[in-house]
Structure 1
Amino acid sequence: VKVIQHMVDTVWPGSSYKVKKGCPIYATRHLIGASTLKIVDIFFTSPKYAEQPNKIKKYAIWAIQADGPGWYEVPAPRNQVSIKGLPGYVGPTGLFRSPFFLEPLAAYVKSTTKSAGTWG
């Protein structure tokens, strides 16, 4: 709750809005986080990673890289020698199409189906 309140205060200085468990902002953030954790748990309990902490650690480090599978449908190769911008670099494709990103986003979009607001 403290982190979310800090975000609200930063984005809307002077706002008197107080974040509480169960309020719409908290609920939406919780929905996204819970959905993401579920996807990650399912992924790492698959036979390829179950009970293999070193393998999980290596994948997780790669996944959060700027061109990793946390963001891209087809990430840059894990053990690529070249660096972005240099010859031989193979870039990722499908930004924001990673299942780690798409599924929580879909849950968020679904939660906003009947929302309304004034924009501008």
Structure 2
Amino acid sequence: MTDDYKSALVKADRILSFLRTAISPLLPLQVAHTFVMVARNEGKNLTEITELMSSKVSTVSRHLLDLGDYTRKMEPGYGLVESKTAPTNLRTKQFYLTSRGKLVARELATILQES
């Protein structure tokens, strides 16, 4: 096993540990993936995010709700993502990181950038 390989696995472990600590020990990887996609593509709508993830609208919609203030069951969500009505189409919502979401995204980027 090369040093680069070991280093990459250490970073992966640090990212997973950080997500479990900062967000929830039960955070599903698919929900984490949706969070990263919103972080990389703020301002995109549900359809656009779904296409980027090659997923189903119903699945991504559920994840976005969980990442918001309240889940689909009206339980407290993760508070990482918020939706805003699109200025050009009042029926469309665009998704952005909350201030907490931005902190989490910055820390993930910091972990990846460390050598």
Of Structure 1 and Structure 2, which has the larger fraction of its residues in helix?
Answer: 2
The structure with the largest alpha-carbon Rg is 1
Short-chain TM bin: 0.3 to 0.5
TM-score (norm 2): 0.37
TM-score (norm 1): 0.36
